[in-house]
Structures are given as C-alpha cells and as structure tokens.
Structure 1
Amino acid sequence: MNSEVEQEYWVYQIKGTPYQVIQLPENATDFPHPFIIPDENRSPDGLYAIGGNLNPGFVLSAYSQGALPWTAVENLKYGIDWYCPLDRFVIFPDEIHISHSMKSLLNKHIYTVSKDKDFDAVIKKCSECNSRNKQDGAWLGKEIINTFTRLNQLGYAHSYEVWNKEGELVGGLYGLEINNCFLGESMFSIEPSGSKIALIHMCQQEKKYKFLDCQFETPHLKSMGGRHIDIDEYLEMMYG
C-alpha cells in the first residue's frame, strides 16, 4: 500500500457535482488504499483513479485493493480508468443457485469443463463476444490481453473452458485468483448457457474459493445467487 504517499487528484464531475479522483503516475508500482478519498468526495459511479499502467504487478496491486480497470486502453485520453465501487456483487460458492433447466442440461453430460487448458482461446473469445467490448471500443484489447496472459503464466489468472462433444470451445470465463478469492473478469457463451456451465463447475469444484467477484450485478448472475456486500466486508474476507 502507498497510503502514506501524498496523492494528486483530478476533479471529476457528474451532473455538475465535483468528485475527487486520484491521479496515478505512469510508473506507479502500488495502487493506493481504497479509502484515501472520503466517502462524501467519492464518485458515485465508482471511478477512483486515473493513470497508472497495465504491468502485471500493478494490476495485481489494484485488484488486491478492490480496484479494476474499466477503459478501452487504445482510446485513452487521460490514462487508464480504475474503478473501486463501495458496493460489490459476489457469489458465494455454497450459495450458487442452479435452476431446474440447468440441472437437466448438466445431467445430460453434453459438455466437459477444463481449467487452464486454453487460456489464450478463452480471453480471445471474451474479447470477440463480450457486448461491453463492442460498445466501449476495445476494452479487452491487446494490452490488457497481454497483461492477463502474463498473469496466467505466473499462476494468478485462470480460465475455465466448456467443450461440446465435438471438442469445440463453446463457453468459458477467466479471472484472477487472490488469497483464495476468484475475481471474475469476463465470460462468453457460443452455445446457450456455456458461461453458466463454467461458473457452476468452478463453484462446485473449487471449494477453496471464499467468493466469486462478479464486479457488477447482471440479471443472470443475480438469478444464480449473486448478492451485494460492501467493500469493507469484501476486503476483510479477502485478507481474513
């Protein structure tokens, strides 16, 4: 942590109301503590810092503080946007909800699931299929793909792949593992429920995980048992 280092701030406005955002130097090595900015000065959309870099060590530092990058790197004007929402949406593995239709699908044994068999293919498919990537320009572009590929090589990032009977990759997800917490980054489905199968498998097989960080709420993740916790509980569980 570098909470003792004097910080520089940007003023960030939403509908005319100013909020503080930390300005990070490009050569930063540690992400600032998530509570440096007082609650009353924090951006309600979760934007916490701008700048920094995508070096694997800095990215790990950011995620360890509850922050994540959320910008199309190729389209940056001021630097990388780092979000650190006070409200987090997570799934606890023992609370995963499997619908009757999903149970029926799983019982047919149409698909098999692997871990880290083809990380490169999973992150590429996430980039191609993710609607956020299409809307925001190349959020999951070359630079961040390179970073997470390196983190996979270092043993921090993991993928789960879903294969059909023809041996085709039809779903999957990837994310970071920090202190037995899985911080989900992105998922994709080529065949219906492909990403759900990967998620269910992970929750059922990886008993060590304290929680799966979904980043933000979506209807299908909520239907699978996702719920909100605050960042204090989030970090306490991560380091408890």
Structure 2
Amino acid sequence: MLGVTFGLPSEWPSQDLIGYTDEFSAALALEGYRCGVFPMPINAGDSEMGWWSPMQRGLLPVDGLHVTRSMRRAAKRYTTTVDAAFDDVVAACADPDRPHGWIDTRIRTAYARLHATGWAHSVETWDRDGRLVGGLYGVHVGGLFAGESMFHDPELGRDASKVALMRLVEELTAAGVILVDVQWLTDHLGSLGAYEVPRRVYLSRLNVALGLPQSPWPGALTVPGRRVGPPNSHPPPRPEEA
C-alpha cells in the first residue's frame, strides 16, 4: 500500500518537485519509493534534499525492452554481473565530468546502505579485459524497480549500459517485478521502449506493485552478454495509460 509519509498525493503541487527536507537518510529514501517519490538534490551543494514525483512518469515495460540488432552484437563483447561492484557503478554514475550530475556524497552514502541491506542493486557490464565499462543501479521494493542511474565508458563501453539493461530485465522478470520506474522519459529511454504515464496512473500501478512479495536477487552470477536479453527484438504494444 502507498505510504503517506510525504502527504497525500491529492495535496501535492502540480509540479514534479513536491517538497524538500533538511533530513535525509537511507531509511527516508526507501520510504520515499513507497510513497511514489524519489530523492534528488535541487541544486548542487544545497543542504536540502528535493523529493520528486513527476507529473509525467517514465516507465519501462518489463517485457517490452526494444533490443536492436546492434545491441545484440554489442552484447557479445561483454559479460554481465549483478551486485558485484555496486559502489563502483554508483561512483561511475556520479562522475563529476558527466553533464547534469546530481549524485552527491549524501546519495552515495544512503544508497550504499540500501545496497548493504538488500534494497538497492546494481548490474555491471565488463569487457574482455575485465574492465567495468557500463552499469546501472536502482531500488527494488516488492513489484517495483526504481532505476536511479546508468553509465557507460565512452571509449571502452559502447552500448555497455544497454547491455546492462538487457540483463536487468531478465533479473526483474525472475523477481516478479511488474513496474519499472525510470523517472523521466528521455529520447534515449524512449528508443528502448520506455513511455510516459500521468502521475495518478503511476501511483495506482505502484499501489499494486507494492503489494507483491519481495523476491531475492541471484547475486554476482556472471553471464556472457550473448546470453542476455529477451528473444524478441521489438516491444509489444504499450499498455493503456489510463
């Protein structure tokens, strides 16, 4: 059931940013996902933590990842793991040289705690020389996976983040996840099958997802890239958005 720590959604402002707090912790972040919000600093260096619930929420259908031929070719160059290098993935996502960076020390500390307690997970992509060249991380609660960030090495890891996403959907399917939150829809995510729904629709689906059991993840099992990804190369029709 949806939490109410951040108030009733009917009372939230009609904007993506629904509030901010001076307090921030791993426990509060986890509660935020149960309420339909996620933490992100409003501005770099601010002491307050912003809490966001986009008016139009980006979702990725678990069974609708658009896997292109180029992604399948790229996958053959890599291997993937789960929860093998969580801190390294977050550090790469937090690289200050990346544009629009928002992952600060508070975020890194809180999500490391969530990982240590089994709520946050990472998927890693490795090249043939054993170098970490891509990955992603997010939070799993019941039937929800809330994707936080992904990266690829621009020189060594072409399409490596997409290969991590291919591995992710396999793990989510096995864990019984039915709702994959990607926060905001981008052109990049849209090309992979993501779509938008209004806030009220997201919260309704979240309420269902939170009622599902919490299934374990498999650990750091290494899988060759050629074995990851759904058999279909095109997504099914999008679900109804109302």
The TM-score range, normalised by the shorter chain, is 0.7 to 0.9
Q: Aligned to 2:66, what secondary structure does the other structure show? A: coil
Q: Deviations over 1:113-152 (max 9, x none)?
A: 111001010000100164221xxxxx21111100000000
Task: Kindly provide the amino acid, as one letter, of the partner of residue 86 in structure 2.
Answer: F
- Per the alignment, residue 112 of structure 2 pairs with 149
Runs of at least 5 residues in structure 2 that lack an aligned partner in the other structure: 209-242
Query: Aligned-pair distance for 1:74?
Result: 5.9
| Cα distance, 1:68–1:175 mapped onto 2, change above 3 Å | same
Runs of at least 5 residues in structure 1 that lack an aligned partner in the other structure: 4-29, 134-138
Matches for 1:79-158 after TM superposition, within 5 Å: 79-106=48-75, 109-128=76-95, 130-133=98-101, 139-158=102-121
Q: TM-score, normalised by structure 1?
A: 0.77
Structure 1: how far apart are the matches of 2:187 and 2:169? Answer: 18
Q: Which of 176, 179, 182 is the aligned partner of 1:211?
A: 179
Is the Cα contact below 8 Å between 1:179 and 1:238 reproduced in 2? no
Query: Aligned-pair distance for 1:2?
Result: 7.7
Q: What is the aligned-residue identity percentage?
A: 29
| Cα distance, 1:74–1:225 mapped onto 2, change above 3 Å | closer
Q: Deviations over 1:157-200 (max 9, x none)?
A: 10000011111000000011112211010110001111111111
Task: Kindly provide the amino acid, as one letter, of the partner of residue 197 in structure 1.
Answer: V
Determine which structure has more spread, i.e. the larger CA radius of gyration: 1
- Per the alignment, residue 27 of structure 2 pairs with 57
Query: Aligned-pair distance for 1:72?
Result: 5.8
- Per the alignment, residue 9 of structure 1 pairs with none
Task: Kindly provide the amino acid, as one letter, of the partner of residue 209 in structure 1.
Answer: V
- Per the alignment, residue 17 of structure 1 pairs with none
Q: Which of 33, 58, 67 is the aligned partner of 2:37?
A: 67
Matches for 1:187-202 after TM superposition, within 5 Å: 187-190=150-153, 191-202=157-168
Structure showing the higher strand proportion among its residues: 1
- Per the alignment, residue 10 of structure 2 pairs with 35
Query: Aligned-pair distance for 1:209?
Result: 1.7
Structure 2: how far apart are the matches of 1:76 and 1:54? Answer: 12
| Cα distance, 1:65–1:52 mapped onto 2, change above 3 Å | farther
Structure 1: how far apart are the matches of 2:86 and 2:43? Answer: 21
| Cα distance, 1:71–1:159 mapped onto 2, change above 3 Å | same
Is the Cα contact below 8 Å between 1:91 and 1:212 reproduced in 2? yes
Is the Cα contact below 8 Å between 2:74 and 2:160 reproduced in 1? no
Q: How many residue pairs are counted as aligned between the two chains?
A: 201
Moved more, 196-205 or 182-191: 196-205
Q: Which of 190, 194, 218 is the aligned partner of 1:222?
A: 190
Q: Aligned to 1:162, what secondary structure does the other structure show? A: strand
Structure 1: how far apart are the matches of 2:3 and 2:202? Answer: 20
